[in-house]
């Protein structure tokens, strides 16, 4: 990320410390992430971790048996679910269910609501995966997770610096980007906060970089550029379809991402239309 000033760094570090001390995401979810991303882990290792949280396991099984997958024979246990979908898809469902806990209290101040931010996050995850599949980017389950978590910094701002966050939301106008408004009111932006917390929580590099650079990949040099591009384009599509992160469209068109993925306006229109079907098919993800 871009270098931050001493005052920005201090403000950011204070919030990261508070978030890490309280740990907004359940520990079992972080263990699921760790195990699923460890090449030496087995399906049994993942099953063992998930079984420590009966409620989480039940939600995962409910989703696996939903219309999203149309299984012919009902899946009744985690071993079957992992064998059927694979570790990364089960990881994604478990992380979605766990992150959803941060949005149970639907607070907000116009034009922002937590429930709308949650809809944005899940929709960007679904859309980013759709774009990755269309562009033949192999790691499309990782792209989903990156999309799901790209704006996690916003809910953390809402929860941990709420008074200033509320003032910022009430001041929002399209003249500036969300990151510019955040730096003015909070001293840092959601990409900086999200990346710092994701690092503290041990999120994989492709997720961290997507959180950090989904608004500006010009500062990024590395192997995860296509995942960042998918998330940026998905963020644009979902915002244009009436699902912005903070209730108002502050997204700048990511020309760098569109060009990098060789996407035309016609491609965007087709994927925006296809997204409706994908969202309907995965409707239960929003309710985990």
Nearest 5°: the CA angle 282, 115, 251 is 85
Is 8 in contact with 183 (CB distance < 8 Å)?
Answer: yes
Residue 8, pLDDT score: 58
Strands (E), the chain: 108-109, 112-113
* Predicted local confidence at residue 1, as pLDDT: 47
Give the pLDDT of residue 285.
Answer: 92
**How far is the C-alpha of 170 from the C-alpha of 175, rounded, in Å?**
14
**Residues of the chain with confidence (pLDDT) below 70:** 1-9, 23
Q: Measured between alpha carbons, how far is 264 from 134 in angstroms, rounded to an integer? A: 13
The predicted structure's pLDDT at residue 3? 47
**3-state class (DSSP) for residue 180:** helix
Q: Report how far residue 33's alpha carbon sits from residue 204's, in angstroms, rounded to the nearest whole number.
A: 8
User: pLDDT value at position 12?
Assistant: 94
Handedness of CA 171, 172, 174, 176 (dihedral sign): positive
- Domains of the chain with CATH codes: 6-287 (1.10.3210.10)
């Amino acid at each position: 990320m871009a270098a931050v000033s001493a005052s920005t760094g201090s403000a950011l570090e204070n919030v990261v410390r508070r978030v890490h001390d309280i740990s907004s995401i359940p520990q079992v979810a972080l263990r699921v992430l760790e195990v699923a991303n460890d090449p030496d882990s087995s399906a049994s290792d993942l099953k063992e971790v998930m079984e420590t949280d009966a409620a989480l396991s039940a939600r995962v099984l409910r989703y696996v048996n939903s219309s999203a997958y149309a299984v012919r024979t009902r899946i009744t246990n985690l071993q079957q679910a992992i064998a059927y979908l694979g570790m990364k898809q089960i990881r994604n469902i478990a992380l979605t269910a766990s992150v959803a806990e941060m949005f149970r209290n639907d607070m907000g101040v116009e034009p922002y609501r937590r429930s709308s931010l949650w809809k944005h996050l899940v929709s960007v995850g679904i859309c980013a995966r759709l774009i990755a599949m269309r562009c033949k980017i192999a790691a499309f389950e990782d792209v989903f997770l990156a999309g799901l978590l790209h704006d996690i910094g916003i809910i953390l701002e809402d929860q941990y610096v709420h008074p200033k966050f509320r003032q910022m939301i009430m001041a929002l106008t399209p003249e500036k980007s969300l990151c510019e408004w955040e730096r003015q009111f909070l001293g840092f932006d959601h990409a900086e906060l999200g990346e710092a917390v994701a690092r503290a929580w041990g999120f994989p590099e492709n997720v961290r970089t997507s959180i950090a650079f989904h608004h500006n990949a010009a500062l990024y040099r590395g192997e995860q550029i296509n995942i960042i591009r998918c998330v940026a384009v998905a963020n644009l599509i979902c915002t244009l379809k009436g699902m912005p992160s903070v209730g108002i469209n502050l997204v700048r068109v990511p020309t760098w991402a569109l060009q990098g993925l060789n996407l035309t306006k016609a491609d965007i229109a087709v994927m925006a239309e296809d997204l409706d079907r994908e969202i309907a098919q995965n409707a239960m993800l929003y309710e985990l």
